[in-house]
């Protein structure tokens, strides 16, 4: 193998290895029960879901969708992850192979959601860190809106770092 080809292969190998070792921390199994102190994250696709004046996420971002007869909002359990880990998670589960680009990451405590009378279904699908916010009022849209308003102000956001 020529020196130039060998160096290209070696660089590609180390890039692949670094990516795998970085994402291995993302794949650790978590307890089924979500701890109230855990950090919960949601990936923000639309700038209109961000309140730049207050640095918080608007309640519209957490609007649940109906799936198999129940309302749910998709979130991820991100306690203990670094900034790089969080954005690697976003790339893997939200962006790759889809037409999505995250503008920001919303993050806040699980207890804000629990205190709003909601709960978690930590299903681990499509990723071990995935959970759904469940327990939304099934009868009235305005009640679901109120539930989201009760916790959304506890969620701050970080905009996408340059180069990620």
Buried b (16+ CB within 10 A) or exposed e, 123-141: eeeebebbbbbbbbbeeee
135: left (phi over 0), alpha (psi -120 to 50) or beta: left
Tens of pLDDT, residues 99-150: 889 999 999 999 999 999 999 999 998 899 999 999 999 889 999 999 999 9
At 106 the pLDDT is 98
* pTM for this prediction: 0.82
Query: Domain limits of the chain?
Result: 39-159
pLDDT at 21 over 50: no
Q: Look at residue 153 and tell me whether its pLDDT is greater than 60.
A: yes
pLDDT of 98 = 86
């Amino acid at each position: 193998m020529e020196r130039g080809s060998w160096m290209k292969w070696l660089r590609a190998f180390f890039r692949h290895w670094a990516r795998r070792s970085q994402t291995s921390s993302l794949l650790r199994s978590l307890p089924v029960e979500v701890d109230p102190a855990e950090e919960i994250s949601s990936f923000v696709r639309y700038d209109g879901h961000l309140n730049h004046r207050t640095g918080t996420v608007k309640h519209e971002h957490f609007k649940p969708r109906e799936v198999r007869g129940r309302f749910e909002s998709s979130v991820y359990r991100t306690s203990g992850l670094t900034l790089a880990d969080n954005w690697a998670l976003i790339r893997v589960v939200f962006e790759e192979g889809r037409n999505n680009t995250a503008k920001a990451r919303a993050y806040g405590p699980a207890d804000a959601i629990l205190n709003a009378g909601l709960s978690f279904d930590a299903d681990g699908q499509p990723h071990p860190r995935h959970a759904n916010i469940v327990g939304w009022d099934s009868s009235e849209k305005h009640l679901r809106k109120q539930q989201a308003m009760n916790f959304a102000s506890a969620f701050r956001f970080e905009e996408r770092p340059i180069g990620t």
